[in-house]
Amino acid sequence: MILKIRQERIKKDWSLKYVADYAGLSVPAIHDIETGRRKPSYDVLVKLEDLFRLNHRRLFAVADDDGN
């Protein structure tokens, strides 16, 4: 399962490390969040919403197979 957050990160040409550094997490933690294996804490959720300028409902929606 891939979440929209991954598509948004790739669309913005941001590395996993860039997002991880911003959120104060490790690269594997961000990868696990992007694939739905891990749920972010409230503090991390707020940081991700701020970084992507999208609300959590948009960021954590399941991505369609065609990239939408």
Q: What is the pLDDT of residues 3-59, one digit of tens each?
A: 999 999 999 999 999 999 999 999 999 999 999 999 999 999 999 999 999 999 999
* 20 touches 29 (CB < 8 A): yes
Yes or no: say if 64 and 10 are a contact pair by the CB < 8 Å rule: no
CA pair distance 68, 7, nearest whole angstrom: 8
Is residue 33, in this structure, part of any structural domain at all? Answer: yes
Residue 66 lies in a domain: no
- Which residue would you say has higher pLDDT here, 1 or 16? 16
Specify the CATH number for the domain of residue 17: 1.10.260.40
CB burial of residue 67 (10 Å; 0-12, 13-18, 19+):
exposed
How many domains is the chain partitioned into structurally? Answer: 1
Determine, yes or no, domain membership for 67.
Answer: no
Residue 64 confidence (pLDDT): 75
Classify residue 34: in a domain, yes or no: yes
Do 38 and 32 touch, CB atoms closer than 8 A?
yes
